[in-house]
């Protein structure tokens, strides 16, 4: 597939971002092992040399693609600045659920690659989870949902793994509960779990 | 390392089990990619031919080792037959936490291998989780902790991922809460979560 990207003049930064987007799309249909600079060069219609210039190596390319996807997810799911903490959490979770539904194969592939991959990939997964959950503490500074203690941090980490698992399982069979019911369980479970510590 | 296993006469079944135990020990110190029939042959002091006879291929060997470890965990964590549902859940979770602490590298390696591995490995991880959680429904037939609905099944699956994540995180820094506090959060969170559906 040759896309117009091979002919358009873009700044190096914009071109790099575009190649990362293309890389993310590759993730949606191929296993991590199959994603290479060669495949991207073919799909994007650009030279391998240019890709090596931007990304250095196959490993660095994969890492850059996943980092880009993680940053995109964290950005997309930023909760609204105003509102009740629980309302803001619900809104943020809603965007997360929709993101997973819209990018199901990609997201599943990223989670798998991160969980089973190299130390660097796992660190990236952890960073992503940390960015998503740390935000909850920062935006709930008044402690309306939870107070920031080591115990609460441990519980929120577990809650985050639960949310990931529940959303991915639910996406396979959304007849189990409505999207609103799922969001409600996820949002309300956070204070309920922290209350147990 | 040559062990006495190479000289002892054992039934084929006992020998196979012994080789699987050795395989599990390899998992504790090596990455999944490094575990091969060659390495096992060297460590166990038996011939490669014998190992191929028992396991067929490298992939089948890995799968057999992980299957064996999963079955062992499910067996070990069987809750006591008598007692209050929540007490039995606490006991079972206690054995699980101790198992993870005693086999931390192995367990982490298995979870990673399963999450990032082939479809067969992931299926095995799912089977293990299913065996651990399905038990809760079977042994709580009176519905004292939860009733068996598709919604509760989804929540229990999420809870199971949360427990795995919390125990593995806690094992890295047990100063965050005591073992009893961890067990209490895990056990009490199950009915609390199901109540939200």
Nearest to A196 among B122, B155, B189 (CB): B189
Mean pLDDT of A111-128: 77
- pLDDT for A33: 63
pLDDT in tens, A39-80: 888 887 888 888 888 888 887 887 888 888 888 888 888 888
Burial A71-91 (b: 16+ CB within 10 A, else e): eebbeebebeeeeebeebbbb
List the single residue in B with minimal CA-CA distance to A163.
B158
Tokens of B18: 């012994």
Check if A150 contacts B (Cβ < 8 Å): yes
C-alpha A16, offset from chain centre: 19
**d(CA B194, nearest CA chain A) in Å:** 9
Per-residue pLDDT, A1: 46
The ipTM assigned to this model is 0.83
Question: Which class is domain A4-63?
Answer: mainly alpha
Q: What are the DSSP calls for B100-117, one per residue?
A: HHHTHHHHHHHHHHHHHS
CA distance B12 to B18: 10
> C-alpha angle with apex B126: B123 to B129, nearest 5 degrees?
155
Assigned token pair, B158 = 């999420």
Interchain contact A159–B (C-beta under 8 A): yes
Question: In which band, very low, low, confident or very high, does the pLDDT at A2 lie, cut at 50, 70 and 90?
Answer: very low
Distance from CA of A76 to the nearest CA of B (A): 23
CATH architecture of B77-195: Orthogonal Bundle (1.10)
Q: What is the mean pLDDT of residues B96-115?
A: 82
Could you give the 3-state DSSP secondary structure of residue A23?
A: helix
**Shortest CA gap B121–chain A (Å):** 11
In this predicted structure, what is the pLDDT of residue B167?
Answer: 96
What is the pLDDT at residue A8? 62
Q: Which pLDDT score is estimated for A42?
A: 84
Is A50 an interface residue toward B (CB < 8 Å)? no
Place of tokens 């599990």: B24
Q: Which residues of B touch A116 (CB under 8 A)?
A: 112-117
- For the segment B37-62, the average pLDDT, to the nearest whole number, is 84
Between A58-76 and A119-139, two packed helices, what is the crossing angle to 10 degrees? 20
pLDDT for the residue numbered B106: 77
Please, where in chain A does CATH 1.10.10 lie?
Answer: 4-63
d(CA A79, CA A87) in angstroms, rounded, equals 9
Dist. CA B46–CA B58, nearest whole Å: 15
- Residue range(s) in chain B whose domain bears CATH number 1.10.357: 77-195
From A35, A31, A37, select the one nearest A55 (Cα to Cα): A37
Of A10-19, B18-27, B31-40, the range with the lowest mean pLDDT is B31-40
Q: What percent of chain A has pLDDT above 90?
A: 25
Q: Which pLDDT belongs to residue B59? A: 79
Q: Which residue has the tokens 């956070």?
A: A190
Set of chain B residues whose Cβ sits within 8 Å of the Cβ of A169: 154, 157-158
Contact B154 A161 (CB under 8 A): no
């Amino acid at each position: 597939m040759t896309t117009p990207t091979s002919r358009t003049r873009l700044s190096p930064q914009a071109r790099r971002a575009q190649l990362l987007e293309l890389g993310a799309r590759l993730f949606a249909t191929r296993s991590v092992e199959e994603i290479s600079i060669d495949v991207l060069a073919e799909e994007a219609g650009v030279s391998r040399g240019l890709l090596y210039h931007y990304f250095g190596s196959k490993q660095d390319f994969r890492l850059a693609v996943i980092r880009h996807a993680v940053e995109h997810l964290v950005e997309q799911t930023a909760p609204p600045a105003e509102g009740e903490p629980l309302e803001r959490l619900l809104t943020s979770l809603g965007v997360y659920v929709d993101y997973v539904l819209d990018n199901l194969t990609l997201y599943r592939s990223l989670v798998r690659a991160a969980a089973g991959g190299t130390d660097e990939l796992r660190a990236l997964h952890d960073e992503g989870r940390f960015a998503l959950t740390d935000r909850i503490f920062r935006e709930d500074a008044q402690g309306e949902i939870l107070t920031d203690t080591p115990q609460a941090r441990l519980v929120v980490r577990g809650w985050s793994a639960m949310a990931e698992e529940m959303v991915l399982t639910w996406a396979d069979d959304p007849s189990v509960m409505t999207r609103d019911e799922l969001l409600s369980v996820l949002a309300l479970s956070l204070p309920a779990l922290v209350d147990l510590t």
